[in-house]
Amino acid sequence: MDDLLSLPFDQYQRYRLVADLVERVRPGGRPLRILDVGGRTALLRKFLPNDRVELVDVEASEEEGLVLGSGGALPFLDDSFDVVAAFDTLEHVPPRARKAFVAECARVAARHVILAGPYRTPQVDEAEEILMGFLADKLGVKHRYLAEHRDYGLPVRAKVEEWLGSAGGRVLSVGHANLERWLVLMCLELYLDNDPLLRNLAQRFFAFYNASMYSSDHGGAVYRHAVVASLGQSREPSIEGLFDAPAAPQGATRALLAMGLEVIAFDGEKDAWSPELKRLEKVIRGLEKDLSGHKKRLGDTVENLQQHKATLKDERAQRKQEAREQA
């Protein structure tokens, strides 16, 4: 469990939410056969180690048993899995293909479909725009997946619920990740991840949130929903007790504030020593260039000496031969 707590908080959020919902629909405590659509990372296997989690994705990875295939045309028979799940995947499917994706998930699921991720609201769209602006202005980077959210547009949750209902599902949506908190913490996470000197602080931050704040982080407007469809005679999940009360635990604000102050202090110091660091990097590049030139000249000299040595050896051999002939 400790290795899971070290995951980036946003990854932990999505997998923990779905894993907890799977436990709520597990019949008689028995192991389940689960399909993770878009699951090339195989993280769900770590959250549900006693279940048979199979993977399908359009991109390859080294994970054992990964099947290459599209969510819009899953290479499995009807009712092949107890649960079919997708994590932050539907928003990366082109809009015209989303209905087919949802229908395919329902087709190969015998009991439940769980589609977790961000769904379109004005607040969620605005939060993602702010995050992309932070990344561009502060870190000078473009986030591939957030850009795709904007290019495709996030899925409409009501539509997804409607499609699952049309497939015979009894649909329930569960929200998580307070939106304001998600935005602040994502800025913090990506800032920490961008600098190797801050990776240790990032690990402390992830472990603290995942262990102490996840269970209460569901009040107000949220970033992510898990849309759950119960098919056939399968039972619907009870969400009673799924989370703690939606309030930060005692001491959480102080701990996050301390981490934030540490980052602010680092940022200020970084502004002070960054010019010197850049100067030293330039000096190092110059020295490396000089060293490369010296190595080349030394190599040329060694080659000339070797050629001269070979010439002298030939001349000596020739003189010896001439001396023997004269004798």
The pLDDT tens digits of the residues spanning 65-109 come to 999 999 999 999 999 999 999 999 999 999 999 999 999 999 999
pLDDT at 312: 76
pLDDT at 187: 87
pLDDT at 50: 96
Kindly state whether residues 105 and 146 are assigned to the same domain: yes
The pLDDT tens digits of the residues spanning 283-327 come to 667 767 767 766 777 777 777 778 877 787 877 777 777 777 776
Kindly state whether residues 142 and 222 are assigned to the same domain: yes
Kindly state whether residues 268 and 234 are assigned to the same domain: no
Q: How far apart are the first and last CA of the chain?
A: 92
Looking at 200, 222, 248, the residue that finishes a domain is 248
What letter would DSSP give residue 38?
Answer: T
CA-based nearest residue to 244, from 289, 284, 212: 212
Kindly state whether residues 124 and 227 are assigned to the same domain: yes
Kindly state whether residues 148 and 267 are assigned to the same domain: no
pLDDT at 254: 63
Q: What are the structure tokens assigned to 203, written together?
A: 């690990």
**Cα torsion through 299, 304, 309, 312, rounded to 10:** 180
Kindly state whether residues 163 and 176 are assigned to the same domain: yes
The pLDDT tens digits of the residues spanning 172-198 come to 999 999 998 898 899 888 888 888 878
Which are the contacts of 265, defined by CB distance < 8 A and separation ≥ 6? none
Kindly state whether residues 123 and 261 are assigned to the same domain: no
The pLDDT tens digits of the residues spanning 21-42 come to 999 999 988 999 999 999 999 9
Kindly state whether residues 150 and 257 are assigned to the same domain: no
The pLDDT tens digits of the residues spanning 37-59 come to 999 999 999 999 999 999 999 99
d(CA 26, CA 44): 16
Residue 268 has pLDDT above 90, yes or no: no
Kindly state whether residues 273 and 223 are assigned to the same domain: no
Question: What percent of the chain shows pLDDT beyond 70?
Answer: 86
Residue 244 has pLDDT above 80, yes or no: yes
Total of domains in the chain:
2
Residue at token pair 């699951």? 39
Please state at what angle helix 144-152 crosses helix 122-134, rounded to 10 degrees: 140
C-alpha neighbours within 13 Å on the C-beta side of residue 264: 6
Report residue 200's pLDDT band, with 50, 70 and 90 as the boundaries. Answer: confident
d(CA 224, CA 157): 10
Looking at 233, 248, 263, the residue that finishes a domain is 248
Kindly state whether residues 215 and 238 are assigned to the same domain: yes
What CATH number does residue 6 fall under?
A: 3.40.50.150
3-state DSSP percent of the chain in helix, strand and coil, to 5: 60, 15, 25
**Cα torsion through 197, 12, 179, 219, rounded to 10:** -130
Kindly state whether residues 170 and 299 are assigned to the same domain: no
Kindly state whether residues 186 and 136 are assigned to the same domain: yes
- Highest mean pLDDT among 160-169, 236-245, 286-295 belongs to 160-169
Residue 139: give the domain boundaries: 2-248
Residue 266 has pLDDT above 60, yes or no: no
Q: Which residues pair with 54 in a beta bridge?
A: 35
pLDDT at 270: 57
Q: What are the structure tokens assigned to 100, written together?
A: 């087919």
Report residue 141's pLDDT band, with 50, 70 and 90 as the boundaries. Answer: confident
d(CA 216, CA 249): 8
pLDDT at 295: 75
Looking at 248, 282, 310, the residue that finishes a domain is 248
Higher pLDDT, 141 or 91: 91
